[in-house]
Amino acid sequence: MGRCPSCGAWETLVEELRAAAATGRALDLVVVDGKRTDVVQLGEVDTSGTARIETGIAELDRVLGGGLVPGSVVLLAGEPGVGKSTLALQVAAELKSNAPVLYVTGEESLEQLRLRADRLPKVPAELLVMAETRVEAMQAPWLEYSPAVVVIDSIQTLRTDRAESAPGSVTQVRECAAALSNAAKSQRTALLLVGHVTKDGAVAGPRVLEHLVDVVLGFEGDRGHAFRLLRASKNRFGSTQEVGVFTMTERGLEGVPNPSELFLAERRAGAAGSCIAPIVEGTRPMLVEIQALVASAGYGTARRTTIGFDDGRLALLLAALDRKSDVDVLSSDVYVNVAGGVRISEPGSDLAVALALASSQLNKPLPADVAACGEIGLGGEIRRVARIDLRVREAIRLGFRRVLIPAGVELPAAIEKEADLIRVDDVAAAVSWLRASSFRE
C-alpha cells in the first residue's frame, strides 16, 4: 500500500518482518525455557544496588536526577550539529567511575573522534573507542572490559542480523535498541544512546525508542547560537522538571549555572521594543530579553515573524492589544525575537511581549530597570503564572528594581521590600503604565 489508510499520508508505511509464528497453544510461554522469574513482595525489593554514577557534568547530572543509573538506558536526542557527540564524549571524559567507558561510533572514523577529543579538556587517553555498526560485534568487548557506561553514537547507524531492513529503518533501530538494552540490563551497564531528530521530529527512529528506554533527554539549541538546553521528557529515575543549560565553546560544552547573565549580556537598555521577561524552565528562573519590531506593512497581508516564540500566541497577543488597548498593531508588520536563541514554551512571557510590542509601536523605550511577567487572556486580562516569587527574585538578583506582575498576586514581604512591584490587571493598564513611565538608567 502506498498510502496510509489511517492518516492518508503517502509512502510512510514501513515493512516489518513477522517473528516466527505463534504456536497457538495456551500459556506456552510459561515453560519456554524452563527458567522461572520469582514473584516477590514489593517491600522486599532491594534498592541498595541502584547507586548512581555521577557523570561529572553538573548540568547533566541535574537533569538525570543525580547521575546515570547502572543498567539503565538513556536516549540523547537532538538535531544534527546540536552537540550530542560532544556531550557524550565529555561524559566519557568526566565520568566518576573506576570502570571504563566504551564509546562506539558508527558515524565518524576513529581519527575524527580523536580530533574531536583533542579539542576537549581531559578526554583520557585510555578511553575505549570502537568504530562499529554491527550490534553483534559489541558482545566481545562488552564482556571483556565490563564498562560502566557504553555510548552508542548513533543508534540510527547500527544494524543487527536479527532484522533484515536497512540501518536507520524503524525495525532496525528498535531491534538494535532492544538487544543493547537487554545487554545493559544484564551487565548493569549504563547505556547512552545518541539519536538524531529533525526539526519537526520527522525521523521515526528516536520516537519508536521512547517507550523502550528509561530516560529521554532532548538537546535543543540553535546552531547559530552557542546556547543549549537539555531537557528530560521522560525519566524513570527522577523528575522531568529540571533543565540543563550549556554554551558551546571552542573547548566543548560548558555548563551555565546562571543563564540570565548570559542572555542579558548583549542587551542595549533604552531601545524601544525591548522588554525583559523572567521565565521559568523546570524549577529554574531565567531572564530573557524579548525584542519586538512593529513596522508599517507593505502591500497585502501584514507579516508576522517570530523567532523563539509561538506564532499562535503572538496572534492572540496582537488581537488582545488591538481590542483591549489603544495601541494599533493589527495592520502593521510584526517581528518578535527572543534574544540569545532561547525558545519560550510557557505563557509567563506574554506581558513582556505585549509591552515590547507596545514599546516599539509607540517608539517609547521601557525603563532599563523593568521586567514583566504574566499571561494574557483573550479578554486582555493579566493572569497569574507559576512561580512568580522565583521570577521576581531572579529579576531582583540581576538588578531589576521594578517588576510588573498580575494584580492580586501576594508575595513575601522580603520581596516586596526589595523591588517595586507594579500590579496590572489588564493590557490597557500595562500600556498606560508604559505611556506614563519615564526612561531612567
Binding site for Mg ion (CB under 5 A): 85
Instruction: Tell me the site size for ligand TYD, rule CB under 6 A.
Output: 15
Q: Rounded CA gap, 307 and 291, in Å? A: 10
Residue 268 binds ligand TYD (CB under 6 A): no
Which amino acid, residue 380? G
Nearer to ligand TYD, 122 or 251 (CB): 251
Please give the Cα distance from 94 to 380 (Å, whole number): 50
Among 54, 66, 99, 116, binds ligand TYD (CB under 6 A): 116
Minimum Å gap between C-beta 84 and Mg ion is 5
Min CB(7)–ligand TYD separation in Å? 29
Is residue 246 within 8 Å of 83, Cβ to Cβ?
yes
| 303 belongs to the binding site for ligand TYD (CB under 6 A) | no
Shortest distance, position 143 Cβ to Mg ion, whole Å:
27
Least distance from ligand TYD to the Cβ atom of residue 170, Å: 21
Question: Nearer to Mg ion by C-beta: 177 or 339?
Answer: 177
152 binds, among Mg ion, ligand TYD, none (CB under 5 to 8 A by kind): none
Cell output for 45: 525489593
Q: Is 206 in the site for ligand TYD (CB under 6 A)?
A: no
Q: Which three cell numbers stand for residue 238?
A: 527522577
Rounded to whole angstroms, the Cα distance separating 94 from 60 reads: 11
Q: Which residue is nearest to Mg ion (CB)?
A: 85
Least Å distance, CB 125 to ligand TYD, is: 17
Q: Is 122 in the site for ligand TYD (CB under 6 A)?
A: no
Pairing relation of β-strands 101-105 and 149-153?
parallel
Cα distance between residue 329 and residue 194, in whole Å: 45
The partner in contact with residue 80, picked from ligand TYD, Mg ion, none with C-beta cut-offs of 5 to 8 angstroms by kind, is ligand TYD
Q: How far is the CB of 78 from ligand TYD (least distance, A)?
A: 6
Q: Which does 250 bind (CB under 5 to 8 A by kind): Mg ion, ligand TYD, none?
A: ligand TYD
Is 195 a binding residue for ligand TYD by CB under 6 A? The answer is no
Q: In angstroms, what is the minimal distance from the CB of 121 to ligand TYD?
A: 9
Q: Give the Å distances, CA to CA, from 197 to 75, 78, 244, 262, 426.
A: 12, 5, 19, 27, 40
The sign of the CA dihedral 304, 310, 315, 319 is: negative
Among 359, 351, 362, 279, which residue's Cα sits nearest to residue 320? 351
Near ligand TYD in 29-88, by CB under 6 A: 78, 80-86
Scanning 38-109, the segments in alpha helix (DSSP H) are: 58-64, 84-94
CB atoms within 10 A of CB 415: 16
- Looking only at Cα atoms, what is the longest distance across the chain? 82
State the nearest-atom distance from the C-beta of 153 to Mg ion, in Å: 6
C-alpha grid cell for residue 410? 501576594
Q: Does 252 bind ligand TYD (CB under 6 A)?
A: yes
Which does residue 116 touch among Mg ion, ligand TYD, none (CB within 5 to 8 A, set by kind)? ligand TYD
Judged on CB neighbours under 10 Å (0-12, 13-18, 19+), 297 is middle
Positions that interact with ligand TYD (CB under 6 A): 78, 80-86, 116, 119-120, 248, 250-252
